[in-house]
Amino acid sequence: MSDASDDSPEGDPTDSFAQGTGSDEPRITFYGGRGMSALPIAFFIVWAIAQTALWRISDTSGLVVGILIGLILGMFFVRGDWKTYANTIFEGMTQPVAVTAIVAWIWAGMFAEVLQDGGFVDGLVWLADVGGIGAALFPALTFVLAALFTTGIGTGYGAAIAFVTLFFPAGILLGANPILLFGAILSGAIFGDNLAPVSDTTIVSAVTQDSDIGGVVASRFKYVIIAAVVAFVGYLVAGQFMGGLEIAGDAQEIFVAESEPIGLVHLVSMGVVIGAAVAGRHIVEAISWGIVVAIAFSLALGLMNVGDIVSFNAPEDAPVAEPLEFLPVLTIVEDADAVGVGGSLIEGAAGFFELAILVLLIIAAAQIMIRGGAFQAILDWSIENLATNVRNAELTMVGSSALINAVITINTAAEVAIGPYISKIGERFNLNGYRRANILDAQTAALGYIFPWSGGVLAGYTAMQDLPGEYDWFEPGMLVTPIDVVPFVFQGWLLVAVFVVAAITGFGREYLIDRESEEVARL
Amino acid sequence: MSLLTKYLKGWRFRSTTPSLETGDEINVFVAETNGTDEGLAYIGDTELRIEGAGPDTVEKRVRVRVTAFDETDATARGEFLEVVGESSYTG
């Protein structure tokens, strides 16, 4: 903060910063000060690191217990009535951004599962084999395809799920390194999440910085493509040095030899989703069309039957099971354990039910942090001490949006929370809306797919956990532990680095006097 | 602006202290005021003092006519013309 601002309180942007979080004063007060409101999140992060990194236990329900205990512990430090704390948990859980992410996960999960069961992985392996794409090239190729796919559909979470379900097993069979593969998938998701006009984070970045979406996308292309070119080279080089896994027996050779091109018909299913999204259809509508087309192709070409899509396994003593046994979706089972509903759609969706609960609870804990003032305290400090000139202001914008996205699981939620601060700091130095939106969204997209508790990583990792049940050759030991992938999300780290360099050197910086962003308008 | 022009815009290194042209009319956000009749806007690290921009213009986008610019210490003076817009967050 400059000297000039110190003697002019009205000009101090921190005065009005609280507007962005919807409250001027912390609504919950804690013994130990504002910082204690970060206890639930902090406890959860420690728990998540211990469980997933130190003890290598990949269990989403364990993480759910971690955040639940964190939320209970935090309550004991609340001054006064605990009811406000409890209500804030509900307030956080009912935020639209959390529900939006969950909907995207479930729809993408169903879509990816139908494609997988419809032989798409088979087709990919065939194509890679025929095309001579070896293990070393596969991660780089996966990065490019995931980037294109995400740019089309706009949801990086959905892309992470689809590519982990489909490309990950294909790559492992071809001998690619699994950690590098997962990193390449997450990198592609970051690329598209950052650049796609239909991406929720792109839209939030434009809207919160009062800029048109088309202009935002065009102006951020330069940063994204620089990071992507370096990331692509990174995956090419790393692919040469990082070896794949040994698949037991001759499963690898058999799978490759038996792979057939017919599953590639689902490229059309993917194209339908991308086309519908680019045409401006809602993501639920776009993926639903993809599911319909994928099911139609699979049934018509004999890749699946109706029972593979939805199946009811009824017990023998069910009252009207036997008369209706002719239905292709109904099977009478003798084993009581086999009773249930199965098929691609339920398996694709059900994989994300636990994760949905986890995310709702994390968003609740983040809301406690916002209402309790820890979030404000961190930002106040950074603005007072760091944003003293335009270069430092931009570095502060990069740092603060990176920090909040590193802490809050759902990056859109983090972006909504930090948006007003980025706006205030940027406007103070007359940075135009495009520059502000680009700084904001790059960190949002990047940090949402790097850490073990990031939504994108959790989504991909959850999808990965179904693979051992899907393929005989896929052993649980082949799963990538989220902490291991952190250094290999090249696009994420490079995007942050590009913006640090851009802030220091002035690359791409635009002031209001250079160009004013156009009116906000969704595509 | 054509689509291609939009994609090619901004591929350059921009100064922390941009120059202003005397006589130009520009839009800027006012950062502070002296409490009476002069506002201060930062365009990067260039300081623009705006005559006539009182407290009610703080954090608003205003139209200013530049009346003087000193490149050596990156300071400028200008006349307040009108308020043309609000902050992205007006509360």
Q: Which chain B positions have a beta carbon within 8 Å of A515's beta carbon?
A: 9
Lowest mean pLDDT among A23-27, A291-295, A407-411: A23-27
Cα separations in angstroms, A83 against A26, A42, A77, A128, A416: 15, 22, 13, 58, 26
Chain B CA closest to residue A421: B89
Question: Residue A114, SS3?
Answer: helix
Buried b (16+ CB within 10 A) or exposed e, A439-474: bbbbbbbbbbbbbbbbbbbbbbbbbbebbeeebebb
Question: Phi/psi of residue A333, each to 5°?
Answer: -115, 145
CA distance A160 to A190: 10
Q: Which domain holds residue B66?
A: 21-85
CA distance A445 to A462: 19
Is B15 part of any domain? Answer: no
Is B74 part of any domain? Answer: yes
Q: Which chain B positions have a beta carbon within 8 Å of A512's beta carbon?
A: 26-29, 43, 61
Contact assignment for A429 to B89 by CB distance below 8 Å: no
Residue A26 confidence (pLDDT): 57
Chain A CA closest to residue B56: A10
pLDDT of residue A9 exceeding 90: no
A423-468 per-position pLDDT tens digit: 888 999 999 999 999 999 999 999 999 998 888 998 899 899 989 9
Closest CB to A16 among B30, B41, B91: B91
CA distance A125 to A487: 27
Residue A523 confidence (pLDDT): 37
Q: In this predicted complex, what is the ipTM?
A: 0.96
CA distance A218 to A143: 21
What average pLDDT does the segment B47-54 reach?
A: 94
Query: How far off is chain B from A171, nearest CA to CA, in Å?
Result: 34
Is B91 part of any domain? Answer: no
Structural domains of chain B, count: 1
pLDDT of residue A337 exceeding 60: yes
Contact assignment for B47 to A420 by CB distance below 8 Å: no
pLDDT of residue A68 exceeding 70: yes
Contact assignment for B43 to A512 by CB distance below 8 Å: yes
In this prediction, residue B83 has a pLDDT band, given cuts at 50, 70 and 90, of very high
Mean pLDDT over the full length of chain B? 90
CA distance A207 to A212: 8
pLDDT of residue A212 exceeding 60: yes
Give me the residue label for tokens 């049934």. A299
Tell me how far the alpha carbon of residue A110 is from its chain's centroid. 17
Residue A81 amino acid letter: D
CA distance A450 to A186: 8
Residue A15 confidence (pLDDT): 31
Percent of chain A at pLDDT above 70? 90
Query: How far off is chain B from A238, nearest CA to CA, in Å?
Result: 29
By the CB < 8 Å criterion, does B22 face chain A? no
What average pLDDT does the segment B64-77 reach?
A: 96
Is B76 part of any domain? Answer: yes
Is B7 part of any domain? Answer: no
What average pLDDT does the segment A393-418 reach?
A: 84
Question: Pairing mode, if any, of strands A311-315 and A340-342?
Answer: antiparallel
Assign residue B72 the CATH number of its domain. Answer: 2.40.50.140
A11-29 per-position pLDDT tens digit: 332 232 223 334 444 589 9
By the CB < 8 Å criterion, does A208 face chain B? yes
Residues 6+ apart with CB under 8 A from B49: B38, B39, B40, B75, B76, B77, B78
Q: Which chain B positions have a beta carbon within 8 Å of A2's beta carbon?
A: 42
Q: Which chain A positions have a beta carbon within 8 Å of B33's beta carbon?
A: 8, 10-11
Query: How far off is chain A from B88, nearest CA to CA, in Å?
Result: 6
Question: Pairing mode, if any, of strands B75-85 and B46-51?
Answer: parallel
Question: Pairing mode, if any, of strands B75-85 and A340-342?
Answer: unpaired
Contact assignment for A428 to B15 by CB distance below 8 Å: no
Question: Phi/psi of residue A506, each to 5°?
Answer: 85, 10
A92-106 per-position pLDDT tens digit: 888 776 677 788 778
Residue A13 confidence (pLDDT): 29
Between these two residues, A420 and A38, which has the higher pLDDT value?
A38
Mean pLDDT over the full length of chain A? 84
The secondary structure element, H or E, covering residue A388 is: none
| Residue A264 DSSP symbol | G
By the CB < 8 Å criterion, does B54 face chain A? no
Closest CB to A391 among B16, B31, B40: B16
Between these two residues, B8 and A397, which has the higher pLDDT value?
A397
Residues in chain A: 523
Upper half-sphere CA count for residue A460 (Cβ side, 13 Å): 40
CA distance A55 to A49: 9
Cα separations in angstroms, A33 against A24, A373, A504: 16, 9, 35
Side by side, which strands form the sheet with B25-29? B25-29, B61-70, B75-85, B46-51, B38-43, B32-33
Between these two residues, A429 and A158, which has the higher pLDDT value?
A429
B17-27 per-position pLDDT tens digit: 999 999 999 99
What average pLDDT does the segment A136-157 reach?
A: 87
